[in-house]
Chains A and B, each alone.
Chain A
């Protein structure tokens, strides 16, 4: 039987670091995309009123 106390578990720091490695570029891309997406609502607002004139 394996001694459960001698089992080396993955460090929480290692797990967090692995997630950070993939989250950081994703967050950068998401931020960039959201900023662009906001133009859909800000840039279209004045023009959207035009046909109603």
Chain B
């Protein structure tokens, strides 16, 4: 078979292979697909495009492109998670690269011919499937390579997803400026170029990734005998995992954490300008968005790594105790109260670090509760919480803002309400985390022949 080199058996690491080659492979995938967070750079150029009949797209129609992509991220992660366990990370990464690259190519034809449905299909549906496949593909492999530090390993990879926007945003802006300067159609050419560049970069990940041999463990590492009751030495299959209350408690935790983060991310630039009218210019607001993306990325690494030492439940305890307090205090920093831009920015970046940290710590939390056997598949199904938050979060934020604007009320008065709703949601997350207990024995996998990596102890 032509694609036999992608088989799991062909990607088993030879003896002597360094596990430190696995994180760059994962990062190549996540830094690429993280571009989706910077899709907004295409918004204004797409709005300025006109068809042959002079028709133009509106903001809502263009906004659906991102929503479709995130929805298909969750759907494909949920659908293909179990397949990934069998097919291996290399094949999944290869298909992710094909889908993500092809998505750009189809979207470029859509932009070129002013056919929005082609952009929905390309970047939204096909690209979104690439996002889902790419997002979950390296997670369980990294956990297997780093059984001593699963939080650090998944934090490293998922940090790449947060950092992808930092590359994708300026890359798209510079390419569009370049092609415009050359007199070429800027959006189609930029999309084609980005599709090709990301495909090549993701191929580096495809050819670098290896899975450890059965029974492999880091040299000198001995799994601790005694560890937290929440770290299971048993495994739970994906079809059983989602029947457990623990799965749904974690689903709620991820959902509220993402929804709360969207409360800031969705309106970051206009929010800081509205709350500090005249004090923060447009360029500074763009800088604020950049700062949020840095802390979103750094938080993924910091919190996930910290969870290896303090435990997953304690890490989420931090998110759901510090988070509500900061969401409550954040509106008090505005111009007519404390009037402190640095305090507003300081609180917002801490909140965004916890938003990223929530994403990065969840795979290790799943591994603790359900074992490593089906962690990719379970993680894939849990990511539907992200899709749901991607729809509900903007609905809350934009719904409240629209209500204030339509009723001629002060727009800046809407933000405290939005942020206090997010505060309340995090309290729900706090309760969910509090209710997490070890998975009951009836859900454990009974097959004793299945070889699974040992878990970390703390």
Task: Give every chain B residue within 8 A of A8 (Cβ-Cβ).
Answer: 14-16
Cβ contact within 8 Å between B21 and A14: yes
Of A33, A42, A47, most buried by chain B (CB within 10 Å of CB) is: A33
CA distance A13 to B14 in the complex (A): 18
What number of residue pairs across chains A and B have CB atoms under 8 A from each other? 114
Task: Give every chain B residue within 8 A of A1 (Cβ-Cβ).
Answer: none
Cβ contact within 8 Å between A32 and B345: no
Cβ contact within 8 Å between A51 and B335: yes
CA distance A36 to B280 in the complex (A): 13
- Shortest C-beta distance, A38 to chain B (Å), equals 6
Of A28, A30, A50, most buried by chain B (CB within 10 Å of CB) is: A30
Cβ contact within 8 Å between B290 and A10: no
B-side interface mostly: helix
Task: Give every chain B residue within 8 A of A14 (Cβ-Cβ).
Answer: 21
Cβ contact within 8 Å between B278 and A25: no
Cβ contact within 8 Å between A37 and B28: no
A interface, size bucket: 20 to 34
Cβ contact within 8 Å between B28 and A10: no
CA distance A10 to B24 in the complex (A): 14
B-contacting residues, A1-53, CB 8 Å = 2, 7-10, 14-15, 18-19, 21-22, 25-26, 28-30, 32-34, 36-44, 47-48, 50-51
B339 is an interface residue with CB less than 8 A from chain A: yes
A-side interface mostly: helix
Cβ contact within 8 Å between B287 and A18: no
Cβ contact within 8 Å between B21 and A10: yes
CA distance A44 to B39 in the complex (A): 26
B405 is an interface residue with CB less than 8 A from chain A: no
B288 is an interface residue with CB less than 8 A from chain A: yes
Q: Which residue of A lies closest to B210 (CB)?
A: A10
Contact with A along B7-51 (1 / 0, CB 8 A): 000000011111011001101100100000000000000000000
- Shortest C-beta distance, A35 to chain B (Å), equals 8
A-contacting residues, B252-292, CB 8 Å = 276, 278-281, 283-288, 290-291
Cβ contact within 8 Å between B204 and A29: no
Of B279, B281, B286, B345, most buried by chain A (CB within 10 Å of CB) is: B279
Given contacts A33-B169, A43-B280, 5 further A-B contacts (CB under 8 A): A8-B16, A21-B204, A37-B288, A38-B287, A44-B276
B contacts, CB < 8 Å to A: 14-18, 20-21, 24-25, 27-28, 31, 160, 163, 166-171, 201, 204, 208, 276, 278-281, 283-288, 290-291, 293-294, 335, 339, 341, 345
